[in-house]
Chain A
Amino acid sequence: GEDVEQSLFLSVREGDSSVINCTYTDSSSTYLYWYKQEPGAGLQLLTYIFSNMDMKQDQRLTVLLNKKDKHLSLRIADTQTGDSAIYFCAESRTGGFKTIFGAGTRLFVKA
C-alpha cells in the first residue's frame, strides 16, 4: 500500500467511536472504499464513497472525504467487540481496473 496510507493500529473501548484515517494520492480516483478483513477470511466491502461526495452515512458507519487533502476517514459509532478486524482503505484507479489498498488498520475493541 505504498500510495494509500493508514495508521496500523487503533484500540478503543466497547461503546466508544472509532475513527480510522487514510490518505491517498491519486486525485483522479472515482471511488474510494473501506473493506473489512476478519481473521482467516477474505476482504468484504463495508462501504464506499463516490469522489463527488463529502460524506456518506450507513447505519453505524460514517465516511468523510476531503478531496483537497486527499483524506478519507471511517467512523464506527458504538464500536462492538465484533468490529475487531483489519480495515483497509482502497482507491480505484486505472479506469477502474486497479484497486490500490492501504496497509490496513488493526482495530482492537476492549470490552
Chain B
Amino acid sequence: DTAVSQTPKYLVTQMGNDKSIKCEQNLGHDTMYWYKQDSKKFLKIMFSYNNKELIINETVPNRFSPKSPDKAHLNLHINSLELGDSAVYFCASSRGGGLQNTEAFFGQGTRLTVV
C-alpha cells in the first residue's frame, strides 16, 4: 500500500564503505527525487529524474550515483562514505513537470550514520 517506500530505514556503516539505498513508488509518477536532510533539518534536493532521465543534479559529489532502472525505481549508491554523508535521505516522487501540480510524495527516509 505504501506509495513511496525506501529501504533500509536505518543504515550504520564505517567510513570508506559503499552502500545503496533503494526507492520504489507505486503511484505511476514520472518524476522521482533524492533529497538530503541534515541534522538541522535543512532539506536539499540532490537529484531529479523524469522518465528515467536525469533532469537535476545539484552539484552532488560524484561519489553519489543515482540509478533509475525504470520509472518506478530510483536507487542511490554512495561510494567511499564520509562522516559528512551522515544525514536522512528522502526519496520522493511526483507527476512530471510543466504547469501541473507537482506535489511530491515522500518516503519515510533512510537515516544514514557513518562512523
Interface residues of A (CB under 8 A from B): 1, 30-31, 33, 37, 41-45, 48, 50, 86, 88, 92, 94-101, 103-104
Contact = CB atoms under 8 A, between A and B. Distances in A.
Contacts, number: 75
Interface residues of B, number: 31
Interface stretch (B13-21, B65-73, B74-82, B104-112): B104-112
Nearest to B43: A101
B42 A95 contact: no
B97 A97 contact: yes
Contact of A42 (B44, B96, B97, B109): B109
A98 B103 contact: no
B103 A100 contact: no
B6 to A, nearest CB: 9
A33 B42 contact: no
B56 A42 contact: no
Contacts of B104: 43, 45, 99
A98 B45 contact: yes
